Amino acid sequence: MLLLGLTGSIATGKSTVSNLLRAPPYSLPIIDADLIARQVVEPGTAGYNAIVRYFSPTTPDLLLPDATPRGRPLNRPALGRRVFGGGEDRERDRKALNGIVHPAVRKEMYKQMVWAYLRGSWAVVLDVPLLFESGWERYCGSIIVVGVSDPAIQIQRLRARDAHLTEEDARNRVSSQGDIREKARRCERRGDGAGVVVWNDGDQEHLKREVERVMSDVRRRSPKWWSFLLWVCPPLGAISALVSWYKMRKVQLSWEEEKRKEKAKL
């Protein structure tokens, strides 16, 4: 089974691409890290309790006033203002939040991947906004990055989608996820078939055609007979996954070493 990574940055169109891949003619199972991240911090979960313990002393409006049967939901805009942006305090709190949420998200993602394999899916889409930053790239046989050429487009789309955000809020959220053009270069370093960039500067019809082009190439490189063979012969699937993991790990480590050297020169 092919692990097809899907990533981008906020307001680049990643969710639109995810919805296209979920629908015919692709009909691929989608493991949505953002959706799972919401589910693992719903009232009553261990993640919710940990966030309340850590953030409630410094964030008075952390919880919404209207309670559900399981408790008061998190006030996500308030939590976002606490962790997004520059400064040591925000960086520390962002790391604390990630330390709570990420392990629970990974556990649920593993469960969904196993279920997709057991159902005989030829591929499963890992929809992860911070795919590179979280280390998921080494597990993906192929990665699609959805990007825009100008961060101003992201800010404009984000504020149109979330009217409550100020200009500063939008900029902080865009900058917190890194430069999408850097992610695009990192993706392309994986080589033909293993990394592709979809630029979403146009309308939805243009984006749809780009997805068709990309998925035609992905399907050609992972034909049905090969997917079926890996499914009926788990040892072969395990060997194939290990070889892919090793190759992609080398690419990951090479990129990270290159970035360390660049920082050392500054």
Average pLDDT along the chain, 266 residues, taken 10 residues at a time = 93 93 95 92 92 90 84 88 83 90 90 92 92 91 93 87 85 82 92 91 91 92 87 89 93 92 82
Distance (Å) of CA 211 to CA 122, 138, 217, 250: 18, 22, 10, 27
Count CA atoms within 13 Å of residue 95 on its CB side. 6
What value, to the nearest 5°, has the Cα angle with vertex 57 and ends 96 and 176?
35
**Residue type (1 letter), 168:** E
CB 132 within 8 Å of CB 7: yes
- CATH code of the region 1-29+124-266: 3.40.50.300
Q: What are phi and psi of 162, to 5 degrees?
A: -115, 90
How high is the pLDDT of residue 266? 67
E runs forming strands in 121-249: 123-127, 142-147, 195-199
**Rama region for 191: left / alpha / beta (φ>0; ψ in -120 to 50; rest):** left
State residue 3's pLDDT score. 95
pTM of structure: 0.83
| CATH 3.40.50.300 domain residues, the chain | 1-29+124-266
